[in-house]
Every structure is written in structure tokens, then in C-alpha cells.
Amino acid sequence: MWIDEQTRSQLHLEEILADFEPLTPYGKKERKNLKPFLPGEEERWLWMLNEQEKLQSVGRTFSEEFHKLERICKQFPDITSILELLSQSRTPALTDWFHLKRFLWLIQEWMELLSKHERLTSFLLSKEEIEIVNRLLWRLNPSPSLQPSFAVEDAYDERLKNARKRLRQLEVQKQKEREESIQQLESKYNIRPNRLGEWVIDRKAPVHRELEGESQITLIRETMYEKVYELSRPNLEQAQEDELKQQIEERVQLILQQLAHQFMPHLSEIQQIVEKLTHFDLLWARVRLATTWNGVKPEWDVDHFVLDQGVHPVVERYLHQKELSFTPIDLHIYQGVSVIIGPNMGGKTVAIKTVGMITALAQLGFFVPATRCRMPLFPWIATVIGDDQQVEKGLSSFGAEVIRLGTWLEKKKQQGLLLLDEIGRGTNPIEGASLSFAITDYLSRSQIWTLHVTHYQELMSLKHIQVFRVAGLPEEVYLYPIEKDPKAWISLLHQRMDYRLVPVKEQDQFPEQAISIAKMLGLHADIVKQAQQLVKSKRGEE
């Protein structure tokens, strides 16, 4: 599995993809089945990104024409079930042929707009496909003037034409005779039919008895208060009408069967055209979504993961609602373990979520929210983040964390991307630090790319790992007074915190800002003072 549901949820991937909106029914179906590009598919991945780049460039320059393309795409009917019927040698219904013709008509309009741009030639149909579309469109249009709608016209068949002509003549004659009969009845009995062509006669009316023997009308229903009549229809006349309708229906079905036989040899070409339309629709939907975060085309790099000014759109949107800003992330790592250290509320978890989200988006074929992104394709992406209580399994957060981590450690020979947040924090500090150290050391000797957020300074003694720290709060900030409103605390802390990730040099000390942050947030002065003394005491012991 490339990415499991827990990872998707923790990276907020579904919230981001909720705004991924293809326009055609085919694109909307495929949206639910987006597949990642995996190792070995780099060439296809880069090709698709380049195609997207062409669309993006032309779309920006010719926005009005692309709005027209969008309107066309929204009108495409879904002909999937129709093609399935034809593949089974079955004849589609009349309405199906209307949709099929509508599809071919819109394909021509779509092609006409795309063909105006030389950079979009890769999206165009081949000459053979264009000829097939044109030929089939005319099969559904026997009259000289091409129309977008479909009907089984008289031009399809002479016998159909004659049968319809006779039926129309019969209906005209029938209507004439009906009007004459109504006039005769009105003249004779002074009665007129209602809008349904029925005579509703009160049983107490004098004419009630007279109508019982009238041959021009037939009693169709009655109650204890009234009787309802309609014009009588001669059996011979009805038989002629039924026979003509039967003939017409048979000729229509024969014509539809002939059309089906004419379309069946071209099913594979029609399906290819649907696939090309779907490909365009999905790419253009990707472009539109990436435009919302000013996305950049990711590049392939088998040895490094480079991210400049990376942003998490969901977190950024949340902060914007709070009138706060997102600090873009810069990160350059290589295969192995990279550790991020820093104070509480320093944005470390957001950093690894941003890396995971951008990686997932890139492998799903999207431009990513950054100014630069170079990366390999990973066979899997996984997170072990936060409190994952599994009460139904009788597990604590620590137990759930260990079980989940163990699942991904079994893939140590695969170059997957593993994002860890505070491994070992769910148990006592000494054992937690030891476990975190051992896990990090183990991962540093595996094939996995690991990004590990931690508070345990013991990890800094490990060799062959990269270490980054959150720049944190400048020293002078701690001298500022802070309001007692919790919302004001968070806002001020966010404003003063430097969330940038800074590479740690060998001589750098492990950051200790938790007590200072607690002081800023209003913790009682006596508690802060005692905590500071204990830290100094422990340093002396060390």
C-alpha cells in the first residue's frame, strides 16, 4: 500500500483533494481512483508534469478560450454504459443515441478550440480518430444540415417515411371526423366535452336518457351521480392506427440496429477518444487546483529531497482564518534519518506534515505548494504522528504507536518515506529517550527515508544523521509581558516564534525553550523559578 488511511488523514490529503474537481463525468470517476507514480515510473511522471506545464502556460495566456473549454467539458454526457451495450452486441435505446451524438458533437467543438494552440498538439486526436468522429456524426445525421440533436428521421428509410406519412394522414382524418362529431353532438344535445375530450353528464339532466342510445359516444365510467362518455372509435380505424405505429416502431428498431452495427467496429477508437478527453480533464483540473497555491512543477532527484518555501494549504488556510501567517519550510535531506528538534509549539509536526503532503501531491501528479521541489518517487509514505488511542484493541497511545511503527519497520529494505513525531513520548522519559535513540539508530541503517521530530537530546550524539532545529524564539522575547487571554498568548507566541528549520552544527547546543515559553504563557513565577533551578542542577550533575 502506497499510503494508508491514517496517513492520508494526518496529512490532511483528503481536505486538499476535495478541491480537485474534474469537469467531465469521466474525470469525476477517475478522481476517485487516483493512483500515485511509483519508483520505475519516473519517465511517465515527468512526461505528465510537462504536459501539465504546457496546459498551465497556454491556459494563462488564453484564459477566455479555456473558459470555453471548461463549459464544453461540463456538457459531455457519460456514454460509458452505451459503449458497454455496443460491446455486448446490444442495441442502445433512442435516448442513448442522442447522448452518443451529443458526445461526438462536443468532441468536435473541443478539438476545434485545442487545435488553435501549437503547444497542445499532444492532446489532439489523430487524423484517423478525427475522420471516425466525423463519419459517425454524419451516420447520426442523415439530413444535409448537421445538427447536435438526434432523431430517427424519415431520411433514414423510405418505408419509415411512408408509414409516418400515412399515420399523419390518418390522424388528420381522425381529427377532422372528431370535430364533426363534436359539432353534431353539440347541435343535437346542446353538450360540449371538457378539456379531456369527455362528456360528464348529471344523471338528473333530461339529456341523460337520450344519450344512452347515441352511437357516436361510449360510456367509459359512471358514479351514482353522473356518467362519463367519450367519442366512439371505429374498430377498423383503431386497427389501422395500431398497425401503422407497429410498422414505424419496427422500422425505427431496425434503423437503430443498423446504426449499432455501424458503430461496433469503432468501439476501441471511441474508447481511446474518451481516454484522451479524461486525460485532458484530469490534467486541467490539476492545473486549476495548483493555481490556488501557486504550485511549482516537482523535479526528480533520486538522491536528495529538496524543498524550498514549502506550504501546507490546509494549515495555511486555518492560520489565515486566525489572522496568522504560515512560515514556509526549507529543507534539504538525503536518504537516511533526518531529525528535527525544537521547542513545544515550534511547528515541528506541521513541518513533517507539510513534507509528507507535498510528497503525496507530487506523486499523485500535482504541482506542489512550494517554490522548488526535488525528490525521488517513494514506494510508500507513512506517518506515526500524535495520540492514536485504540481503545477497542486495549492499547494505549504508546502501544498503538509501537504497533504502527513496527509495521513500517518491516519495510526497512524499501526506500519509503517515514514521518515520525515524538517516538517514545507515551512512556517514561528515560525509557522513551532510549527507545527513540534505538529506533533512530536502527532506521539510520535501513533504506528508509525518515524524518523524525523529537525532544530527546540523546539523539544528537548519533552519527550519520542530519539534524535540524526550529529557530525558535529570540532571547529578548522572554522579557516582554504577555496578556492573560489564552488567544492572545497563542497569537503573540506565533508572531514571535521563528519557525524556520536551521541545520544543526556539531558544536550547537540542544535548544531549551520550554520553560521560557511556559513563562510567556503565564505559568506561575514560583513554578518557573523552581523549574529553572532544577535544570541548572541537572546540568551541574552532568
pLDDT tens-digit series, residues 361-381: 999 999 999 999 999 999 999
The pair phi, psi for residue 400, each rounded to 5°, is -65, -40
Quote the pLDDT of residue 265.
96
Task: Give the mean model confidence (pLDDT) for residues 508-531.
Answer: 71
Quote the pLDDT of residue 345.
65
Q: Is 516 exposed, middle or buried (0-12, 13-18, 19+ CB in 10 A)?
A: middle
* pLDDT higher than 80, residue 255: yes
- Report the distance separating Cα 144 and Cα 29, nearest Å: 37
* pLDDT higher than 70, residue 507: no
CB 451 within 8 A of CB 468: no
pLDDT tens-digit series, residues 55-102: 999 998 888 999 999 999 999 999 999 999 999 999 999 999 999 999
* pLDDT higher than 50, residue 186: yes
User: Residue 510: in which H helix or E strand, if any?
Assistant: none
Quote the pLDDT of residue 300.
98
Tell whether pTM > 0.75: yes
Task: Give the mean model confidence (pLDDT) for residues 336-354.
Answer: 86
More confident residue, 481 or 187: 187
Task: Give the mean model confidence (pLDDT) for residues 464-468.
Answer: 91
Task: Give the mean model confidence (pLDDT) for residues 440-456.
Answer: 92
Question: Where residue 253 falls among pLDDT bands split at 50, 70, 90?
Answer: very high
- Report the distance separating Cα 499 and Cα 324, nearest Å: 13
Quote the pLDDT of residue 390.
43
Quote the pLDDT of residue 509.
63
Q: What is the mean pLDDT of the chain?
A: 88
* pLDDT higher than 60, residue 281: yes
- Report the distance separating Cα 53 and Cα 277, nearest Å: 17
More confident residue, 532 or 225: 225
Torsional sign, CA 356, 362, 365, 367? positive
* pLDDT higher than 80, residue 508: no
- Report the distance separating Cα 412 and Cα 396, nearest Å: 25
* pLDDT higher than 80, residue 481: no
Of 4-13, 230-239, 482-491, minimum mean pLDDT range: 482-491
Quote the pLDDT of residue 12.
95
Quote the pLDDT of residue 243.
93
Quote the pLDDT of residue 235.
67
The number of angstroms, rounded, from the C-alpha of 342 to the middle of its chain's C-alpha atoms is 36
The pair phi, psi for residue 337, each rounded to 5°, is -110, 130
The pair phi, psi for residue 220, each rounded to 5°, is -110, -25
Task: Give the mean model confidence (pLDDT) for residues 409-438.
Answer: 86
More confident residue, 218 or 322: 218
Question: Where residue 391 falls among pLDDT bands split at 50, 70, 90?
Answer: very low
- Highest average pLDDT, of 32-36, 397-401, 409-413, comes from 32-36
- Report the distance separating Cα 137 and Cα 356, nearest Å: 48
Domains and CATH numbers, the chain: 37-151+254-291 (1.10.1420.10), 158-233 (no CATH), 296-478+487-509 (3.40.50.300), 512-541 (no CATH)
* pLDDT higher than 60, residue 477: no
Question: Where residue 394 falls among pLDDT bands split at 50, 70, 90?
Answer: very low
User: Residue 146: in which H helix or E strand, if any?
Assistant: none
In three-state form (DSSP H/G/I as H, E/B as E, the rest C), the secondary structure along 8-51 is HHHCCHHHHHCCCCCCCHHHHHHHCCCCCCCCCCHHHHHHHHHH
| Residue 160 neighbours by CB under 8 Å, 6+ apart | 152, 154, 248, 251, 252, 255
Question: Where residue 542 falls among pLDDT bands split at 50, 70, 90?
Answer: very low
Q: How far apart are the first and last CA of the chain?
A: 46
Query: What stretches of 196-344 adopt beta strand conformation (E)?
Result: 199-202, 217-222, 226-231, 299-300, 304-310, 329-334, 337-341
More confident residue, 273 or 413: 273
Question: Where residue 208 falls among pLDDT bands split at 50, 70, 90?
Answer: confident
Quote the pLDDT of residue 276.
96
Question: Where residue 524 falls among pLDDT bands split at 50, 70, 90?
Answer: confident
